[in-house]
Structure 1
Amino acid sequence: MTDGPEGVRLQKVLANAGVASRRVCEQLIVAGRVRVNGVTVTALGTRVRPETDIVDVDGTAIQLDASKRYVMLNKPTGVVSSMRDEQGRPDLRRYTREWPERLFNVGRLDAETSGLLVLTNDGELAHVLAHPSFGVDKIYIAKVRGTVAPQTVQRLRAGVDLDDGPIAADKARLLDTSVGSSLVELTLHSGRNRIVRRMLAEVGHPVIELVRRQFGPLHLGTLPAGAARELTTVERGALLTLARRPSPPMDTDPETP
């Protein structure tokens, strides 16, 4: 944070970031609702460097660096989570062509899993969110073989033993059953390789289809398969806020459901 002639006035930076009009941003500052680098500021003469300073309003991080791009993709099945696949399989490049920045994926989904994938050119954020020790919650909907019993759902919550150690779903619930199949929702923070598929196979219900509906604060919503869009201001703020929190020690395995 800088109070001298260097930097840009805080209210101008907030207005440029889309928080509100400059007048409203001034009111937010005076009311003590804005922090710069973790310190509450109330002086309208405060100046910041958008490239390096961290600003939040009411505890929600504000994106100041306009060069950073954050995109949500509904990855279809059959597409690998890579910007260039050495085996020539369909990859993510086709979904990033409309943005001039060089984007890359945050974590990955296996080729046969569809759903929410974040693409960005913010390397620091990508590293933090993709690292399993950070424990970002992901919600999956799985269509599985067979009729899932309530006892099986409880077993998923209590934990199952896999070859690489025990694992428990943070949340699990049965959404629907039909002839020969069931829909199960699982919430996990683990980043272990193909963990959702392995957990469900272990309880006797192999996955037929798998989609990730939520990644941290981001929801897939009605975004069609194969479509991509930039995150909204609110979504960016929620994602940046999540990335700035201290990370607890958790799993250390690579992420692929």
Structure 2
Amino acid sequence: MRINKYIASCGVASRRKAEELILNKKVKVNGKIVEELSLQIDENNDVVEVDGVKISTSENTVYILLNKPEGYITTVKDQFDRPSVIDILSSVSERVYPVGRLDYETSGLLLLTNDGDLTYKLTHPKHEIDKTYVARVKGKLTEEEISNFRQGLYIEDYKTAPAKLRVIKYDNVQDVSMLEIKIHEGKNRQVRKMCKAINHPVLRLKRVALGKINLNDLKIGEYRHLTNEELNYLKNI
């Protein structure tokens, strides 16, 4: 089996993300760093590690919804030894991996699973699944800024896709605004960069929904398994 397909089958990442892990020298087979994307492995005999963690295929597929607290990374290992969201899942015996990422400073909805095919589907740009955030930002937005945000903004070397923005309220005393923001892309720190681009830096950020999947009354730091209805919805997007 090709190495990127094996990594996906273990639920670690999509095949595309698996290739990125290989190029970043995060993958070892039998103790040696993988140099070739086309490497074929024997899933029954070869020992595969990602970020120093041994991986294997799992018979039981699990689907977890976590209300991520601030101050947790969404990778398995971290060079600064910061806590990982994996540390929160004390009662989950299967090895699961985040579907996409949330910034260290960002809280809210995060899916975790060992279903590589679903991970690939949910992270592939063609599906354009809305990710809904509530952002607390500095200042009061003008109509022009709101319009520019909705049309897409130039950030670094790319222009973001059209996004949705709604002002929930403005606090005149503190000079801060609460915003509901919906994007379907998953660029690194995209919401923060978009708000900064219109001169309203993010003070707090929380993801509250992925498509029709919502946190509802799930408390910060708590997690639960997806319902059959939620899982069917994600698989049929």
Q: Report the TM-score, using the length of structure 1 for normalisation.
A: 0.66
Check the 8 A contact 2:137/2:204 in 1, yes or no: yes
Equivalenced residue count is: 178
Residue of structure 2 in register with 1:137 after alignment? 130
**Per-residue deviation, 1:95:** 2.1
Listed as ranges, the gaps of 5+ residues in structure 1 are 1-65, 243-257
Residue of structure 2 in register with 1:109 after alignment? 102
Check the 8 A contact 1:145/1:182 in 2, yes or no: yes
Match for 1:171 among 151, 160, 164?
A: 164
Residue of structure 1 in register with 2:145 after alignment? 152
Check the 8 A contact 2:161/2:185 in 1, yes or no: no
**Per-residue deviation, 1:169:** 3.8
Q: Return the letter of the residue paired with 2:222.
A: A
Matches of 1:99 and 1:156, distance apart in 2: 40
Q: Return the letter of the residue paired with 1:223.
A: L
Check the 8 A contact 1:84/1:93 in 2, yes or no: no
Check the 8 A contact 1:169/1:187 in 2, yes or no: no
- CA deviations on 1:91-130 (whole Å, 9 max, x unpaired) are 0222222022111110000100111000111111112212
Percent identity over the alignment is 38
Question: What value does the CA root-mean-square deviation take over the aligned residues?
Answer: 1.7
Match for 2:222 among 189, 214, 227?
A: 227
Check the 8 A contact 2:152/2:163 in 1, yes or no: no
Matched, 1:218 2:225: no
Moved more, 90-99 or 137-146: 90-99
Matches of 2:162 and 2:221, distance apart in 1: 28
Q: Report the TM-score, using the length of structure 2 for normalisation.
A: 0.71
Match for 2:181 among 183, 186, 194?
A: 186
Matches of 1:125 and 1:210, distance apart in 2: 26
Matches of 1:136 and 1:112, distance apart in 2: 22
Moved more, 156-165 or 109-118: 156-165
Match for 1:85 among 47, 68, 78?
A: 78
Matches of 2:82 and 2:125, distance apart in 1: 26
Matches of 1:79 and 1:144, distance apart in 2: 21
- CA deviations on 1:196-252 (whole Å, 9 max, x unpaired) are 01110010100000001111221111211111001112111111112xxxxxxxxxx
Matches of 1:133 and 1:89, distance apart in 2: 33
Secondary structure of the residue aligned to 1:142 is strand
Aligned counterparts, 1:37-52, within 5 A: none
Residue of structure 2 in register with 1:209 after alignment? 204
- CA deviations on 1:121-143 (whole Å, 9 max, x unpaired) are 11111122123343221011110
Matches of 1:80 and 1:201, distance apart in 2: 22
Check the 8 A contact 1:175/1:183 in 2, yes or no: yes
Matches of 1:158 and 1:131, distance apart in 2: 22
Q: Return the letter of the residue paired with 1:100.
A: S
Residue of structure 2 in register with 1:162 after alignment? 155
Q: Return the letter of the residue paired with 1:112.
A: E
- Runs of 4+ residues over 3 Å off in structure 1: none
**Per-residue deviation, 1:149:** 2.4
**Per-residue deviation, 1:168:** 4.1
Match for 1:122 among 92, 115, 120?
A: 115
Listed as ranges, the gaps of 5+ residues in structure 2 are 1-58
Aligned counterparts, 1:64-103, within 5 A: 67-103=60-96
Secondary structure of the residue aligned to 1:226 is coil
Secondary structure of the residue aligned to 1:174 is strand
